[in-house]
């Protein structure tokens, strides 16, 4: 039984079930980064969108979306939307990113208010790129 069949709209997975399904330290690190740096808690949502159906995990801060995370078998997808006001900074940051992220950014058209980047987080380099993009969306306050 696959993820979408097991956890339908009437059966939300627990945080532990999501972590067990993904089975990657990258998931743990992404959630730690968001919780510690932005002091946010995840919210769980079911989507019947044909592009990525099933349960996802959203993080928001001050009414702004930081990212949406989609559990996959052995990895996760991070959706980060780069809006018009973040566009220039994101372009300047791209040379620091993995070739995969650079290509995705270049090949993703600006539409519906931004670049909707769906990054397959399969290694530490892409995880760091996702963190960079989130930091562009919402700066950290100095502590």
For residues 126 and 119, is the Cβ–Cβ distance under 8 A? yes
Q: Give the three-state DSSP class for 105.
A: helix
Virtual CA dihedral for 117, 132, 38, 113, nearest 10 degrees? Answer: -30
d(CA 72, CA 56): 10
32 or 51, greater pLDDT: 32
Confidence of residue 121 (pLDDT cuts 50, 70, 90): very high
What mean pLDDT is predicted for residues 40-62?
86
**Residue 64 within any structural domain of the chain:** yes
**Residue 142 within any structural domain of the chain:** no
Total Cβ atoms within 10 A of residue 25:
10
**Residue 90 within any structural domain of the chain:** yes
**Residue 57 within any structural domain of the chain:** yes
**Residue 119 within any structural domain of the chain:** yes
**Residue 143 within any structural domain of the chain:** no
Q: What is the pLDDT of residue 142?
A: 63
As for how many domains the chain has, the answer is: 1
What mean pLDDT is predicted for residues 7-18?
87
**Residue 126 within any structural domain of the chain:** yes
d(CA 90, CA 106): 11
Q: What is the pLDDT of residue 36?
A: 93
Q: Give the three-state DSSP class for 13.
A: coil
Q: Which of 80, 70, 77, 75 is nearest to 135 (CA)?
A: 80
d(CA 59, CA 113): 19
Confidence of residue 50 (pLDDT cuts 50, 70, 90): low
For residues 100 and 2, is the Cβ–Cβ distance under 8 A? no
For residues 51 and 40, is the Cβ–Cβ distance under 8 A? no
For residues 132 and 126, is the Cβ–Cβ distance under 8 A? no
What mean pLDDT is predicted for residues 60-79?
93
Structural domain of 87: 3-137
Q: What is the tens place of the pLDDT at every residue in 22-46?
A: 999 999 999 999 999 999 999 999 9
């Amino acid at each position: 039984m696959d993820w979408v069949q097991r956890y339908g709209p009437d059966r939300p997975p627990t945080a532990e079930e999501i972590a067990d399904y993904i089975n990657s330290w990258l998931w743990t690190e992404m959630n730690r980064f968001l919780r510690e740096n932005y002091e946010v808690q995840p919210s769980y949502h079911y989507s019947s969108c044909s592009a990525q159906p099933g349960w996802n995990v959203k993080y928001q801060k001050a009414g702004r979306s930081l990212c949406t995370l989609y559990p996959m078998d052995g990895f996760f997808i991070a959706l980060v939307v780069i809006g018009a006001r973040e566009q220039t900074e994101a372009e300047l940051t791209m040379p620091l990113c993995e070739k995969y992220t650079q290509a995705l950014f270049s090949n993703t058209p600006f539409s519906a208010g931004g670049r909707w980047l769906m990054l397959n987080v399969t290694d530490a380099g892409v995880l760091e790129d996702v963190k960079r993009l989130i930091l562009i969306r919402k700066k950290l306050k100095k502590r």
